[in-house]
């Protein structure tokens, strides 16, 4: 075997090992990302501040029954803003239904959407939301200044806004409840306040 051939073989082995190392590194970065991904529902700095009274608004649901939002009541409210044209909203609906079931005692889930009635009807039929409180109209979204979907707002029984944010997965939804329990608006706020508290 001449030296050139040996060198070729060795170089190929080195290239393969290097490619493996690069792949493994990127895989590890991906795992790290998925560990820190449930960073909480993202708050876009608009609308009402967390821990202040929620704006009071009354809208008619799709059966023309009035729905009061932001008033004192027996239960808290979770507003879920969605649209039939948003794929992520639809993928969250099963999680939301199970959350609604487990917090049934102290939380009303209100679905808020806007737009074309026939596609709303299709969405309601597909996800079994016939008995849910489902509001179609722009009033609530405008009052709470919702810019991006899917968006969720958590209001407690005293009518105080406890948490809000853009929710892209079940962890984000659950983080709203976590935020309520800790009395912190969002992870971002928590991270910002922590260094200050330590000083």
Residue ranges binding another protein (CB under 8 A): 5, 8-9, 12-13, 15-16, 19-20, 22-23, 26-27, 29-30, 33-34, 36-37, 39, 42, 86-88, 91, 188
CB closer to another protein, 14 vs 49: 14
Q: Minimum distance from CB of 29 to another protein (Å)?
A: 6
Closer of 153 and 187 to another protein (Cβ):
187
Shortest Cβ 35–another protein spacing (Å): 11
CA 188 to chain centre: 14
CB of 76 to another protein, least distance (A): 28
Question: Least Å distance between CB 13 and another protein?
Answer: 8
Q: Which is nearer to another protein, 75 or 90 (CB)?
A: 90
CA distance 90 to 53: 29
Residues 6+ apart with CB under 8 A from 1: none
Which strands make up the sheet holding 107-113, listed edge to edge?
Answer: 133-136, 107-113, 76-81, 151-155, 161-166
Backbone angles phi, psi at 190, to 5 degrees: -60, -45
| Residue placing its CB nearer to another protein in the complex, 42 or 57 | 42
Distance CA 71, CA 58 (A): 9
| Adjacent-strand bridge partners of 118 | none
């Amino acid at each position: 075997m001449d030296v050139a051939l040996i060198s070729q073989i060795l170089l190929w082995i080195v290239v393969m090992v290097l490619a493996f190392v690069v792949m493994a590194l990127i895989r590890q970065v991906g795992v790290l990302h998925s560990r820190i991904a449930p960073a909480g529902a993202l708050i876009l700095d608009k609308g009402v501040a967390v821990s202040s009274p929620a704006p009071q608004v009354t809208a008619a649901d799709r059966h023309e029954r009035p729905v009061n939002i932001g008033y004192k009541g027996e239960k808290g409210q979770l507003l879920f803003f969605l649209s039939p044209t948003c794929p992520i909203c639809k993928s969250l609906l099963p999680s939301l239904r199970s959350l609604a079931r487990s917090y049934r005692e102290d939380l009303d889930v209100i679905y808020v959407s806007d737009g074309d009635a026939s596609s709303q009807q299709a969405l309601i039929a597909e996800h079994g939301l016939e008995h849910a409180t489902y509001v179609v109209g722009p009033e609530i979204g405008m009052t709470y200044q919702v810019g991006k979907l899917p968006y969720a707002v958590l209001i407690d029984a005293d009518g105080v806004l406890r948490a809000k944010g853009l929710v892209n997965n079940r962890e984000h939804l659950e983080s709203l409840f976590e935020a309520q329990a800790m009395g912190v608006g969002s992870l971002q706020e928590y991270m910002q306040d922590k260094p200050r508290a330590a000083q």
